[in-house]
Every structure is written in C-alpha cells, then in structure tokens.
Amino acid sequence: MTPVAFAQNVLEVTDVSQPNDVYSSDDGKAVVVVKCNKTIPLMFESTMDKTADPYNILAEGNDSIYYIEFPTGSRYRGRQLSIKSPGYNTVTISLEDLKPKQAVTLLAVDPNSMVDAGCYRGHRNRGLEELKKMNYNEARIQFEVATECSDVDTIENNENLALVDSIIYYRNKAELLFNMHNYREAANLYKKVLMYNSYDSYANDRQAECMLKYVDECSMTMEQA
C-alpha cells in the first residue's frame, strides 16, 4: 500500500473519431472537433499554424463543442495540437497526417472531477476529498459505496479502503499513546499518518507537540539526575 496521491488538474484527451466521419469542405481542409464539459474552458495552439482558434463553439447539454479547421497537405506533416485550460496540464495531440475532408473528434475530460464522473469515480473522488479534509469515517463510507458500483476499479478501491483503515488505526493508536504520555512513540505514529496523508494538519500539530513534550521530559529528567 502506498501513501495517497491526490490527482488534481489532470486533463485526459481521447480520440473518439469514427472511420466514416467526413468534413464537408470545398478547399480540402480538415476539422478537429473537441468536446469538453463547459466548466473547463479550452484553448488551442498548433505547431504548424499561426492560429488554432475555433471557428465555432456550440453548447450541447453540459458540454462545449469546439470546431477547429486546419489546412492539409505534406507541408503540415508533424503538426501537434496543444489543448490547454487554466489550472490544467497541457495535452499535446499529434495531427501529423490530417487528410482533406477528414474529421477528428476528441473528448477531453477531467478524470478527477465530480461532474460526469460516473458511479465509481464519483464516490472515489468524494472519498478522496473527505480523506483530504481528515473526515476519515466519511471517506471510508464513500469507498464502501464505490464497491457496489458496476464500473468499480476493484484493485484501486481496495487500496483506498486499506489506506483509510491504516490512517484511522495509526491515528487512534497515536492518540492512546499521547494520553499515556508516551510522546516519542506517539510522534512516530503521527508521522506515519502524515506519510499516508500529508494534508492531515491535526497529525502534523500533534507530532510537533509530542516532540516538544518529549524534549521537555528529557530536560526535566536530566535536571533531576
């Protein structure tokens, strides 16, 4: 089991083009159609063109659909399209051999978004958010509900359950040792909690408090000796 990694600001782009997709163009141009949830505004750049601005942007349900027209031909081989959004990683797509009247359709999604995430990802993401907020019991409930989803990633979900169980175990044991004034061992356990969840400010404060109390106890012992 590894410490939790909170995936944030990731944009995944998938080519969902169909073989029979055709772009009606009289001058041999091709079109790239990009679909993305409207909460994630997109911008585009091309390595072979002065601009890659969409000639049209349509709204369809919760999505924005961007239409970008490109000239074709041998001089444009090697073209790379960069897809950007504020706060997200830039995704680069190869369009090195666009053909006249070809239509390429791309789907851009944030796999860590609550929006349109599906059953498993929705509960997984809520669980990770609750874990980040140190609401460990609620996080575990979300991971348990995710177990029942038809699209569950069983391996990942089991790892998340084991993760939250480990954090709860070490936190409770650390609290017990703290109350028993065993500050050195308590500090080690709070440190383990932080290894699993670096966002746990309570464990961070407790660890610092333990170290101060341990140093004070050592100083008092030396004075008495």
User: What digits encode the pLDDT tens for the residues 94-123?
Assistant: 998 889 999 999 989 887 776 556 788 888
**pLDDT tens-place string over residues 32-79:** 999 998 888 999 999 999 999 999 999 987 789 999 999 998 888 889
Domains 12-109 and 118-224 alike in fold: no
Q: How many CB atoms lie within 10 A of CB 153?
A: 14
- The token pair at 70 is 């490109």
Q: Residue ranges of the domains in the chain?
A: 12-109, 118-224
Q: Report d(CA 198, CA 157) in Å as an integer.
A: 20
CATH code for the structural domain at 118-224: 1.25.40
pLDDT at 213: 83
Q: Residue 111's pLDDT is what?
A: 75
Q: Does the predicted TM-score (pTM) go above 0.75?
A: no
Which DSSP helix (H) or strand (E) runs through 221?
helix 201-224
d(CA 88, CA 161): 28
In this prediction, residues 133-160 reach a mean pLDDT of 90
Query: How far is 126 from 113, CA to CA, in rounded Å?
Result: 9
Q: What pLDDT, on the 0 to 100 scale, is given for residue 115?
A: 59
Q: Are 40 and 78 in contact (CB under 8 A)?
A: no
What topology does CATH give the domain 12-109? Immunoglobulin-like (2.60.40)
CA–CA separation, 152 and 225 (whole Å): 61
Q: What is the 3-state secondary structure (H, E, C) of 30-54?
A: EEEEEEEECCCCCEEEECCCCCCCC
- Examine the pLDDT at 201 and tell me if it is beyond 60: yes
